[in-house]
Amino acid sequence: LFDPNMGLWQSSTTNQMCMQINPASAICCPEDHLLCFRFLGRVMGKAMFDGELVKGHMVNHLYKHLLGWPVMFNDLKDLDELYFNSLKQMSAMGADDLQYVDMDFTATEDLLGMVQTVDLIPGGAGTMVTKDNLPEYLEACLRYRLLGRYEAQLNELLLGFYDVLPEPLLAIFDFQELELLMCGLPKIEMNDWMAHTEYSGQYDRLGPNHEVCVWFWDIVSDYDQEMKARLLQFVTGTSGVPANGFGSLQGNDGNIRRFTIEGVSLDMCVYPRSHTCFNRIDLPLYETRDELEDKLRIAVTMASTGFDLE
């Protein structure tokens, strides 16, 4: 059922290892696509109840939907960073610039070659985006991209899942823990991870021999499997490791994009920050190993709350 060729799911544009609901599933499976999502929800719930693993990793905001958590603007960044950045640029525009852009409350959807214009709000085609209603437009874009495109399919998936596991029983988990429970802890080989890591920025010249990078790998090596998986989630967006190892990590364009550690100054950021589209972590030039260990643990742990430490 997770096979993209079935038409129910498609690979995420930002992470080829993660699956997202196909908005065109009604075209691919016109007779029973909603029944399939209800069935899949029950299978996922039964697997979790019995301690069995689900093979497919989903995009992060779907785990939030399973938990009943609200989605946030940063979730859009994990789904489509270019779209996220364009909306962020719009939020900084003045009234004159928005008038020049000439945007209305609609979105364009390409469903298997059929281009459709969708109203983000009732009468969206006749409502122009202005400085006054810009927050409403951003919220409408967020709601459509993370829910509206496949609301019927998602509702069936959730109903099937809750048929087996009532929602209150999930309240003790965060969305990262839920992924690990459903998909299992990955087998992470440290030698493979380190061998297929690239270094940039302040670490470009010395690479793994830079003092901060030596501390980083020393700290990560001491992590248990769950914490290593959480770090992987933090940087790449999923705990999954490619079948062929870290040398096969892909970026949002489908090309090989290795795990990357970029050295940045403490003036740019105090805590490590991630760019899941590029499998990159920005690691500040800390002065002590203890400071690096504390800041890294806080950044990785707080990622599951959805709040940006910066």
Residues involved in catalysis: 277
Backbone angles phi, psi at 136, to 5 degrees: -65, -40
Q: In the block, which residue shows the tokens 């400071």?
A: 291
Whole-angstrom CA distances from 104 to 125, 128, 149, 150 are 6, 4, 18, 22
Backbone angles phi, psi at 184, to 5 degrees: 85, 160
Strands 18-21, 106-111: parallel, antiparallel or unpaired by DSSP?
A: unpaired
The dihedral region occupied by 29, where left means phi > 0, alpha psi between -120 and 50, and beta the remainder, is beta
The candidate with the shortest Cα–Cα distance to 15, out of 73, 48, 58, is: 58
Burial 76-87 (b: 16+ CB within 10 A, else e): bbbbbbeebeeb
Q: Give the C-alpha separation, 245 to 224, whole Å.
A: 19
CB 215 within 8 A of CB 204: no
Q: Give the C-alpha separation, 100 to 203, whole Å.
A: 42
CA angle (149 as vertex; 148, 151 as ends), nearest 5 = 55
CA angle (5 as vertex; 146, 252 as ends), nearest 5 = 50
Q: In the block, which residue shows the tokens 């691919």?
A: 28
Backbone angles phi, psi at 155, to 5 degrees: -60, -45
The SS3 call for residue 20 is strand
